[in-house]
Amino acid sequence: LTYYTPEYPTKDTDILAAFRMTPQPGVPAEEAGAAVAAESSTGTWTTVWTDGLTSLDRYKGRCYDIEPVAGEENQYIAYVAYPLDLFEEGSVTNMFTSIVGNVFGFKALRALRLEDLRIPPAYSKTFMGPPHG
């Protein structure tokens, strides 16, 4: 699976995240952005026997753009799109665990910070809200 897809047209239903990242020396920004998308969606570094049973292409996060941060050496904004099918409806915990749960300890990156997150109405409407008031 390729997680860096600059030709990917984002959808109105995608959850869009912007990560500020500093790759380790020698790691290209595209590789680091792809690693963020992979690690926060369907990617794994181990062999899983179920890999051949389901096509993961519709569930994977996609790093669709990378921009250098003005005035900062070796810092980039990686834009990642996540399909709604990746997340449990009405669960903020599931969404944030998936997007930021494991990716911050990733070895290809010296630093990583979630800068922005766009949650589409198609997903925010699945939240029931408070039961009273």
Closest CA to 109 of 75, 81, 82: 75
pTM for this predicted structure: 0.84
Model confidence pLDDT, tens digit, residues 68-91: 999 999 999 999 999 988 888 988
- Whether residue 1 is predicted with pLDDT greater than 80 in this model: the reply is no
- Whether residue 55 is predicted with pLDDT greater than 80 in this model: the reply is no
pLDDT at 87: 84
Closest CA to 120 of 9, 15, 10: 15
Q: Give the residue with greater pLDDT, 2 vs 50.
A: 2
Closest CA to 41 of 90, 76, 5: 5
Structural domains in the chain, CATH included, are 15-125 (3.30.70.150)
Model confidence pLDDT, tens digit, residues 96-119: 888 887 776 677 889 999 999 999
